[in-house]
Amino acid sequence: MPTAITMLGIETSCDETAAAVVRRHPDGDVEILSNIIYSQHEEHAGYGGVVPELAARSHLELADGIVSRALMDAGMANRLALDGVAATAGPGLIGGVMVGMMTAKAVALAHDIPFIPINHLEGHALSVLLTENLAFPYLLLLISGGHTQLLHVNGVGQYSRIGTTIDDAVGEAFDKTAKLLGLGQPGGPYLEDAAQTGDANRFPLPRPLRGRTTCDFSFSGLKTAVRMQAEKHLPLTQRDRADLAASFQTAAAQHLAIKTKRAMDQTKSGRLVLAGGVAANQTVRNTLSEQAESEGWRLIVPPAKYCTDNGAMIALAGAERVFCVGVPDQRSALQLGPRARWPLDDNPRGVRYGSGKKGPKT
């Protein structure tokens, strides 16, 4: 085992083309030597969501240049200085995942270094370790455009799902609500901006599944309730849009907090980690922070640039796997194909996107 593991990570599961170089030291400390992210928001804005074919084509055009920039910024002109190259192998939009995997395999074969396929959800699950030398176990709330899950993280490769969405992911609900209100895409940031001047108490929106004792989530009915309120007030004024945005955002955040509280009662780890793009939403952060404080828990949220899709979390997941498990069999690793669906835990339940399938944001 080397004194430190230096890993290139490539992430192309949706609409970010990302690469990073991370060094993981034996004591758990992490150096982020580079972190390059290209977001395709402008390419997809006119379509109201991510178009998988366009995303894959953009990844294909950009991947080599992004990887080269990440290596250059990290001072890795000699790629033999790397201990391996990790790439997202799923879940995600299959064309994009394929581009990232093939790029990583090419680097691995050309320079005779190991290729480490990574579950995108594991990247998010371990992203907190980029900036925090945090001990296991901890409770993870993963909230993004494709996933909404509560996971008990016992260690690298040791994940137990406690709750998941039974329909839409929370980030998808944010995007579609923003689209309904005509706020722009990607929807989450636009909706949060509109909500800042809105009255969150004006529209009576439901808190889904409140009467159920499970830790599962549901956002489909909440979206429908917003649509019904919007139809009652057509044509919508700027005030209507702001109030609907604020009401939706508050309802979604409280729904996340209610279900997370139930998971906290089950796990007792005392540490709650937020990950995924929706963790950047301040109302969600504040609501979960209040929940954690009321329970005497510590809330840890990675910086926003590590909450959204990025190569650093994939590089770190690869380094952690090598450090804790060892280099995977290269024959099997290189033969592994991309996966649209890849649940992180060993006992997944039959639900939609939140179970480990990243769907297009339409």
* Domains of the chain: residue spans and CATH: 5-130+306-343 (3.30.420.40), 138-301 (3.30.420.40)
Q: What is the pLDDT of residue 347?
A: 61
Contact 292, 167 (CB under 8 A): no
DSSP 341: B
Q: What is the pLDDT of residue 349?
A: 54
Q: What is the pLDDT of residue 187?
A: 87
Q: What is the pLDDT of residue 358?
A: 46
Residue 48 zone, left/alpha/beta (φ > 0; ψ -120 to 50; rest): left
Contact 353, 146 (CB under 8 A): yes
Q: What is the pLDDT of residue 216?
A: 96
HSE-up of residue 306 (Cα within 13 Å, Cβ side): 27
Contact 354, 165 (CB under 8 A): yes
Q: What is the pLDDT of residue 13?
A: 94
Identify each DSSP E strand in the chain by its residue range: 5-11, 16-24, 30-39, 84-90, 115-119, 138-143, 148-155, 158-164, 271-275, 298-300
* Two structure tokens written together for 279: 């963790």
Q: Which of 324, 322, 325, 323 is nearest to 116 (CA)?
A: 322
pTM: 0.91
Strand order in the sheet with 84-90: 30-39, 16-24, 5-11, 84-90, 115-119
Q: What is the pLDDT of residue 352?
A: 44
Q: Which of 357, 304, 354, 91 is nearest to 188 (CA)?
A: 304
Q: What DSSP line would sit under 237-262, residue for residue? A: PHHHHHHHHHHHHHHHHHHHHHHHHH
* Omega within 30 of 0 (cis) for the link into 302: no
Q: Which of 356, 27, 320, 327 is nearest to 156 (CA)?
A: 320
Q: What is the pLDDT of residue 249?
A: 97
- Give the C-alpha separation, 164 to 215, whole Å: 7
Q: What is the pLDDT of residue 79?
A: 62
- Give the C-alpha separation, 160 to 347, whole Å: 8
* Omega within 30 of 0 (cis) for the link into 137: yes
CA separation (Å) from 304 to 28, 225, 301, 307, 356?
Answer: 21, 29, 8, 5, 22
What is the block-wise mean pLDDT of the chain (362 residues), using blocks of 10 residues?
A: 87 94 96 93 72 86 95 82 95 95 96 96 96 95 92 95 94 94 88 96 92 92 96 96 98 97 93 94 96 96 92 98 93 92 72 44 40
- Give the C-alpha separation, 37 to 19, whole Å: 7
- Give the C-alpha separation, 216 to 230, whole Å: 27
CA 42-48-52 angle, 5° bins: 75
Q: What DSSP line would sit under 182-198, residue for residue? A: T--SSHHHHHHHHHTTS
Residue 328 has phi, psi (to 5 degrees) of -70, 160
Q: Are strands 148-155 and 5-11 parallel, antiparallel or unpaired?
A: unpaired
* Omega within 30 of 0 (cis) for the link into 204: no
Q: Which of 227, 230, 251 is nearest to 240 (CA)?
A: 230
